[in-house]
Structure 1
């Protein structure tokens, strides 16, 4: 573990594409998880630039009722299958460092021991209750000094029912943790040292 780890290192990240480099810099090179994979592009990016041992890419690739998951990623079953196959083909090039888990986030979290994950990146269901459930279930899985982060640090986007910012802010304020935000003009990511 990098003894120079500090909040300034986390605060210096400008965009999510820098996440793998930050993980390398901080010595967080064991196990990482991306929740909400869709086509597999961000998992592929992480694996290209991160020196870690294993990335688990978690997504149910499942159509859900709109009242449960109001998002452009919630597409019909046949499109979910196309995305699943594309993600699998893309990530296969990374060999044993990449493992796909076709499961809902909370269900997948139960398969990891507590204090076993260096980084989790949450980009699944963005509704407030879903984000709170993700945070509550993945937080215990984090190693001390790890990095918990996610995408779309906003509330309410168009017709989508996003509650990411509210959930993240409340969850980590209760723990006395600082939330750092990337500098993209839209679709910012959030990062928290745990």
Structure 2
């Protein structure tokens, strides 16, 4: 007897580069939140491809001393340099003025501040690209889910089965969170 030959993986036809177009088509004029901005590559892409969107760029831009042992966790000096570089790049793009706001805070703390300060309507888009450990992702999901607007979209990176879930626990956290809804 023979086992069936599995089909090779098929492209889903969707990736980060198509995200802005998806948001433009499906959300249009709306607030979005990017958790874990880093160098800002995704922020720049979204601001270019989602012309009606307003993005809150949430990242404390500090070195985390425990619980985030990854190459992206550079020292405080490099974190500040990344922030200043992105701030300058965005400032030099006149078409983007008024369409973004930096929030230098830990991601899990922002929803409470959002509501207290009444920054605007609840975000219709939230993208998790911050600390990918199980605990951090679960904390972000619990903090942000209640503030996501009705018919909003939440997504992120690192949804993978690789590793034991300590460094990259996104899949486990998302699956458990979704199961509990």
Give ranges in structure 1 of 5+ residues lacking alignment: 1-11, 176-194
TM-score (norm 2): 0.82
Asked whether the 8 Å contact 1:28–1:119 carries over to 2, the reply is: no
Q: Return the offset for 1:52.
A: 2.7
CA distance 1:46–1:136, shift in 2 (3 Å): same
CA distance 1:13–1:30, shift in 2 (3 Å): farther
TM-score (norm 1): 0.77
Aligned counterpart for 1:134 among listed residues 117, 140, 143:
140
Alignment partner, residue 4 of structure 2: none
Q: Return the offset for 1:102.
A: 0.9
Alignment partner, residue 105 of structure 1: 107
Residue correspondence of structure 1 range 84-163 to structure 2 within 5 A: 84-92=83-91, 93=93, 94-113=96-115, 116-157=122-163, 161-163=167-169
Alignment partner, residue 79 of structure 1: 78
State the Cα RMSD in Å: 2.1
Residue correspondence of structure 1 range 6-85 to structure 2 within 5 A: 14-65=14-65, 67-85=66-84
Q: Return the offset for 1:53.
A: 4.1
**Separation of aligned partners in 1, 2:26 and 2:13:** 12
Q: Return the offset for 1:29.
A: 2.6
Q: 4+ residue runs of structure 1 moved beyond 4 angstroms?
A: 155-158
Q: Return the offset for 1:41.
A: 1.2
Give ranges in structure 2 of 5+ residues lacking alignment: 1-11
Q: Return the offset for 1:161.
A: 0.8
